[in-house]
Structure 1
Amino acid sequence: MHIREIITKRWGEIEILTSPIFGTIEEVIVKGNSVKEFDPLFIIRNEQGALEKITAGLNGIIELLNVKKGDKVVPGTVLAHFKNVYFGK
Structure 2
Amino acid sequence: MRALAQPIYSPCHGKVENIFINESAYVYEWEKLFLIRNNRGFLEEIAVGMSGLITSLEVKPNQEVTPDTVMAKVKEDLFISGSD
Instruction: Give the TM interval when normalised to the shorter protein.
Output: 0.7 to 0.9
User: What CA RMSD, in Å, does the superposition of the two structures yield over aligned residues?
Assistant: 1.9
Q: Which runs of 5+ in 1 are unaligned?
A: 1-11
Equivalent residue number for residue 28 of structure 1: 19
Q: Which runs of 5+ in 2 are unaligned?
A: none
Residues 51 and 87 of structure 1: is their aligned pair in 2 closer, same or farther, counting only changes over 3 Å? farther
Equivalent residue number for residue 44 of structure 1: 36
- Secondary structure of 1:63's counterpart equals strand
Distance 2:15 2:55 in 1: 22
- Secondary structure of 1:40's counterpart equals coil
Distance 1:84 1:75 in 2: 21
Larger strand fraction of residues: 1
TM-score of the superposed pair, with normalisation by structure 2: 0.83
Residues 39 and 48 of structure 1: is their aligned pair in 2 closer, same or farther, counting only changes over 3 Å? same
Equivalent residue number for residue 75 of structure 1: 67
Equivalent residue number for residue 3 of structure 1: none
> Residue 48 of structure 1 aligns to which amino acid in structure 2?
R
TM-score of the superposed pair, with normalisation by structure 1: 0.79
